[in-house]
Amino acid sequence: MRPIFLLALSIMVFTSCNNSEKKKSDETVTTVEVEKPQSIKEHSDQDFVNITPIEHATMVLQWDNVVLYVDPVGGSKAFNGQPEPNIVLVTDIHGDHLNVETLKAVMKDSTILIAPQAVADKLPDPLREKTQVIKNGESTIHNNIAIEAMPMYNLREEAKKFHEKGRGNGYILEKEGNRLYISGDTEDISEMRNLSDIDIAIVCMNLPYTMPVNKAAKAVLDFKPHIVYPYHYRGQNGLSDVSKFKEMVNNQDESITVKQLDWYPDKE
């Protein structure tokens, strides 16, 4: 009887060990799958927000079920077929960013307008009452999206008249660890170069109002967003060379994805 008992015991121990090892193996696989992040930081070819260019500096962002209009100009017809905005962001007072008639047309009763003080000062009372003013360095949260106002200004002496420091806002939008940067009208300022953890950047480049493509490229190479979209690239001498921008960025860092959208649908 003893040999049979020992054999049975050995089988039980062997089976138990195998089951234990299988369970540990299964638990390890499960843990890896559960903890694996699904953000754009791992999948830089996938956008977490849909960007629809309207023209030049004007765009519609759809982030999950939240719709944001950025610098809406062009009248209501420019937004035909677009969903109604939950949030409107305005960066500056110039006509390619601020148009009161367009704001009146697109703003709904529940829409919140976020803008710097210089913009609010130019709005009629009904629009001003819907406006939350934030200045450089200040933040707010709406529809589960954190919105931080960033500096935007000129550095070149001959261009400082266009955008003085503190008047306008760039913006960083953040939700669930994903961060999107909208430059507004700026040069390659230190505040841009020192950004971190930016997943998507939307960066201007036109002369004489903002910066040339080489300065934009150098700034992008400093803060290394996962994806960058050139925008706002029509200047006094026509459209900036965004192909050169892409070449300059990717010659130095192939990990940065440069994506081009049609910001000038009516160009010849």
Cβ count within 10 A of residue 6: 10
Q: Dihedrals φ, ψ of 53, to 5°?
A: -70, 135
CB 179 within 8 A of CB 210: no
User: Which has the higher per-residue pLDDT, 121 or 235?
Assistant: 121
Share of the chain above pLDDT 70, in %: 81
What type of residue is 122? K
- The per-residue DSSP string of 98-152 comes to --HHHHHHH--TT-EEEE-HHHHTTS-HHHHTTEEE--TT-EEEETTEEEEEE--
Ordered DSSP codes for 40-88: TTT-TTS-SSEEEEEETTEEEEEETTEEEEES--S-GGGGTTPPPPSEE
DSSP 149-214: EE-----SGGGTTTS-TTTS-EEEEEETTEEEEE--S--S-HHHHT--S-SEEEEE--TTTS--HH
Mean pLDDT of 71-100: 97
Provide the whole-model pTM.
0.82
User: Is residue 80 very low, low, confident or very high in pLDDT (cuts 50, 70, 90)?
Assistant: very high
Residue 46's pLDDT band, with cuts at 50, 70 and 90, is low
The pLDDT tens digits of the residues spanning 248-266 come to: 999 999 999 999 999 998 8
Whether pLDDT at 160 is above 90: no
CB 148 within 8 A of CB 139: yes
**What pairing do the DSSP bridges indicate for beta strands 66-70 and 58-63?**
antiparallel
